[in-house]
Amino acid sequence: MKKNPTKQRVIDAASSLFFQNGFHGTSVRDIAAKATVNVSLISYYFKGKQGLLEYAVTQYYEAYLETIEACIEENESLTPLEKLKKIVEVIIQYKQDNYQLSCFIHRELSLDSVFVREMTVTYLAKENYLISNAFYQILPEQTKRNQEKQFFLMQFKGMLTTPYLMQNEWKDKVVGDFSHDQFVKNYTRTVEKWLDFVVWESAHGVK
């Protein structure tokens, strides 16, 4: 289905303002002004600021999960480690392509709000299943320590979210399309090296 360009412009404007000022620090008038649309148009499309937020996050997560599932399906013939590395690459690429909304969402997810709990039920549980399942497949059969597995998984999830929770650490280094592409390439390589270490440690570490 072809996207409505005006509707998408409103979403892009809202994403930018939510990223800069937070949800509560952004008004419908601010969004309308940045998107160069009438305030009434936002009410027509989204029923207000809360509806706009829910629509933007739903659109973000549905496309995000579809991207992960497609990657898993397309790389089914690879080894578990190679497949997980592909998943890491598409996740970081997707989050970087949607940088401002990614940062805003991860910031909101660090807060315990009704909205966050709703998103956890509808989307984050599925994300957790896909990522956890792919991650556990790389660990050797002899790795029996459940707590260690959980610690490794926690670190892995942290690596996928940290750049978007600590965006101030990177704001001067990631500017423009080229630097975004370089970040994806370099950061993905860093995560891949860590995965190689986890596999080695699980197979050869002190039992």
**What pLDDT is stored for residue 171 in this prediction?**
53
Which ranges of 3-145 would DSSP assign to H, the alpha helix? Answer: 5-21, 28-35, 39-46, 49-74, 80-97, 99-109, 114-119, 125-136
**What pLDDT is stored for residue 177 in this prediction?**
57
**What pLDDT is stored for residue 141 in this prediction?**
67
**What pLDDT is stored for residue 22 in this prediction?**
87
pTM of this prediction? 0.87
**What pLDDT is stored for residue 109 in this prediction?**
82
**What pLDDT is stored for residue 96 in this prediction?**
93
Mean pLDDT by 10 residues, the chain (207 residues): 79 91 91 92 90 91 97 96 97 94 87 74 91 92 69 93 78 59 92 93 67
Place of tokens 């509560």: 24
**What pLDDT is stored for residue 153 in this prediction?**
92
Q: 176-204 vs 80-97: helix axis angle to the nearest 10?
A: 150
Query: Could you tell me the CA-to-CA distances from 62 to 31, 59, 66, 173, 191 in Å, in that order?
Result: 23, 5, 6, 29, 24
**What pLDDT is stored for residue 175 in this prediction?**
55
**How many CB atoms are located within 10 Å of the residue 102 CB?**
23
Sorted by where each starts, the structural domains of the chain and their CATH numbers stand as: 1-47 (1.10.10.60), 56-204 (1.10.357)
Give the H/E segment covering residue 78. none
**What pLDDT is stored for residue 1 in this prediction?**
45
**What pLDDT is stored for residue 172 in this prediction?**
53
